[in-house]
Structure 1
Amino acid sequence: MRILHVFETIPGGPATYFNETVPTQIKALGADNVRVIVPDAHVSFLKNTPASCIATFKRRKRYRSLPALALAVLREVKAFRPDIIHAHSTFAGIIVRAIGVLPGRFPPIIYCPHGWVFDMETLGQFRHPARWLERMLSPFCSSIVAISQHEYRQGLKAGISANRMVVIENGISSQTPPIVPTEWVDPRTKVLFVGRLDRQKGVDILLKAAAELDGKAVFRVIGAHVTNKTEIVATLPANVELLGWKSPEEIAGHLAVCDVVAMPSRWEGFGLVALEAMRASKPVIASAVGGLQSVVSDGKTGLLFPTGDHKALVAAIASRGPGEWAQMGSAGYERFMERYRSERTNDELMQLYRRVSDDWPVESREIA
């Protein structure tokens, strides 16, 4: 079986998903049978992937790069002749399915939104057109992978057929990366945030909560500024430390010494940071939104609070002591091992590939 993965962008969640799935497929199927299309500027995010498996396109400004992505897809389909095309995220899904509609033979398409674009709060008035577009394009792929029950339910609400979707929850390796040791000595509750410093991830909610917890909690923020850095720094509470982006090994070190991980997202298809926390036996305080509602078992492996309510986040952080956080973290680790290991994700993806490939007529696999 030959698999072609198509990514329009990689940094963030797509990179984690890529590195947890594609190298495993290469190991199982052989480097000659797995190929990926990624932006040329994002190759450095890929791990354990031979250069021979990587095809690139020039990605500059997003919308202007889509024709280059389309040409790369056409080129690789003709040269690589995949049995399956797996398109990741909205723009790759649009391009691949649009090509599949054109006259000629084409391999079966599997599409994974990695969080529906119409779930984005910032999309505003364009959420309805985005929902319509996803519904219209849904018949032009063999299967849509929903990464959480929330994403599956949102797909149903958008009018996408249940027969077109399959839930394959995200997973990560049970093996933690090597830890870069770090110290964090403070009698207050130590709260770690990992993510982009933007509206989706709710860093502003975190900072409002931190300002009210100066005597009770201390915060470390790992992530990049993608909005107004000056504004964030100017309003930074004294008990918050901005660390910028860190390597997985460095993040593992910070996870090891924190008490709890905070995820105050406004929308979230899944929330892979929660899995990294659970793997490290750390509880998660998260917004009751999207896939986080399934990942975090409220009151057992962490706490859920109303989206956007910084007062509720303050109360959640102040509600437990070190011993109770540690107990929740242990429960989170057990839940992770039972449900969220990448071995399960990879097995379910391979089963889907085989099922779709077996159902697809041989004479329809190649572009004419």
Structure 2
Amino acid sequence: MTAMPTDLPTSTDKASGAARVLFITRKWGPAVGGMETYSERLSEELARLHPLDVIALKGRDNGLPPTALALLLFPFAVLRRLFALRDAPAIIHCGDMAIWPLGLMARAFFPKARLVLSAHGTDVSYGLRGGFLGSAYEAYQKLGARLLGRAGVIANSHATHDRLKDIGWQPRAVVPLATDLRGSPPASFDPDTILFAGRLITQKGCSWFVREVMPLLPETMRLTVIGTRWDASEDAVLDFPRVNFLGPMPQTELARHFGTAGCVVMPNIERANGEFEGFGLIAPEAASVGGVVVAAATGGLKDAVINGETGFLLPPGDAKAWADRIIAIREWSAKARADFVAQSQLAAQRHFSWRRVAEATAQAYVQ
């Protein structure tokens, strides 16, 4: 069954004196994904601050994104809704950079409205892959930057912000993402378990970690990998004797593993073509439920980890620095670990909240 677009007008009394916002997104439930969560949770929190109209393309009931046909029809659904809107928006906000033409269309209806777009990692890094598709997408984004030169763009990290400028867009603000994951620190943990969670792609550094860091760690330490096979070149590391591959799992179960592991690693590497992680949501998710995060100081991970507070940032590709930090965490006293986890959870839950994202987004509207 083809997923059909939906419009979800939302407003609150608290927002009655604020500027009206029209939020347009092709990422919405029941599809599952980070951008879908962003669109839904940001909309919910924005509705507390502004009168809000939402035009969203719903995902499929099985959790997959909309079909290609639904995506092709979405502009026509947006056009229909634009004709039907009773109240002119002061702000038109597009949920990702790929749909900038819909922002251009909406501006034709409401030329006095300010146009804002959200930028995620893939929005700006895909063009760095090269090849026909990468080059075509890069040209597409540069065209958007020329046609919508005055549009404000909200980046999810400073790495995304800098890449936007290279393409020609005018980033207005950096607003790191958030998580709803919450939980009490686990009663026990295994200091010899290291956890990697995420897609198995070269950029995320799992194979580098297994090859370069694991040999420097005590023989009793093992790596648990939770995620999806994605890149065949990464699969070989799953046969390493000290690697335990569990595959994908529900977020609630993943949250339990975050807290019971000795540490959670995000060993991203820097690639020659310049591709980077736009944010790295695993980092605040893990910290929010009691995990000890160790991440590479590269790309958007530098905004996903508050160094020394919600985790530790290490030089990408420096195997000795990684081994030294992991061993140091392993040797913490029970009190030292409990103290760090308590303050890390508090900092993560305070900073990586959707209310903060909405408030920073609303502030960016008037900058």
- Normalised TM-score (structure 1): 0.73
Maintained 8 Å contact 2:156/2:279: yes
2:74 corresponding residue in structure 1? 69
Alignment match of 1:215 (pick from 210, 214, 219): 219
1:95 corresponding residue in structure 2? 101
Secondary structure of the structure 2 residue equivalent to 1:166: strand
Maintained 8 Å contact 2:55/2:78: no
Q: Which runs of 5+ in 1 are unaligned?
A: 46-56, 357-368
Deviation at 1:177, TM superposition (A): 6.3
Maintained 8 Å contact 1:39/1:59: no
Deviation at 1:37, TM superposition (A): 2.0
2:235 corresponding residue in structure 1? 232
Distance in 2 (CA, whole Å) between partners of 1:351 and 1:120 is 28
Taking only aligned residues, the RMSD between alpha carbons, in angstroms, comes to 3.7
Alignment match of 1:200 (pick from 185, 188, 203): 203
Q: Which runs of 5+ in 2 are unaligned?
A: 1-19, 270-275
Deviation at 1:234, TM superposition (A): 6.7
1:348 equivalent in alignment to 2:360: yes
Secondary structure of the structure 2 residue equivalent to 1:170: coil
Superposition pairs of residues 209-288 of structure 1, within 5 angstroms: 209=212, 211-212=214-215, 213=217, 215-228=219-232, 232=235, 235-266=238-269, 267-288=276-297
1:23 equivalent in alignment to 2:44: yes
Taking structure 1 as reference, are residues 76 and 311 closer, same or farther at Cα in structure 2, changes over 3 Å only?
Answer: farther
Pick 1 or 2: higher relative contact order, CA cutoff 8 A, min separation 6: 1
Distance in 2 (CA, whole Å) between partners of 1:113 and 1:307 is 24
Secondary structure of the structure 2 residue equivalent to 1:215: coil
1:339 equivalent in alignment to 2:351: yes
Deviation at 1:43, TM superposition (A): 7.3
2:26 corresponding residue in structure 1? 7
Superposition pairs of residues 99-248 of structure 1, within 5 angstroms: 99-100=105-106, 105=110, 108-115=114-121, 117-120=123-126, 123-124=129-130, 126=134, 129=139, 132-133=142-143, 135-139=145-149, 141=151, 143-161=152-170, 165-173=172-180, 176=182, 186=190, 188=192, 190-209=193-212, 211-212=214-215, 213=217, 215-228=219-232, 232=235, 235-248=238-251
Maintained 8 Å contact 2:287/2:311: no
Amino acid at match of 2:315: P
Deviation at 1:263, TM superposition (A): 1.0
Identity of matched residues, %: 23
Distance in 1 (CA, whole Å) between partners of 2:101 and 2:310 is 39
Distance in 1 (CA, whole Å) between partners of 2:220 and 2:338 is 17
Write out per-residue CA displacement over residues 172-221 of structure 1, whole angstroms, 9 at most, x where no aligned residue: 34x61699x9x987452x22222112233223223325642461422222
Maintained 8 Å contact 2:94/2:117: yes
Secondary structure of the structure 2 residue equivalent to 1:269: coil
Secondary structure of the structure 2 residue equivalent to 1:244: coil
- Normalised TM-score (structure 2): 0.73
1:330 corresponding residue in structure 2? 342
Deviation at 1:297, TM superposition (A): 3.8
Amino acid at match of 2:79: L
Deviation at 1:100, TM superposition (A): 4.8
Taking structure 1 as reference, are residues 200 and 97 closer, same or farther at Cα in structure 2, changes over 3 Å only?
Answer: farther
Distance in 2 (CA, whole Å) between partners of 1:43 and 1:3 is 28
Aligned pair count? 329
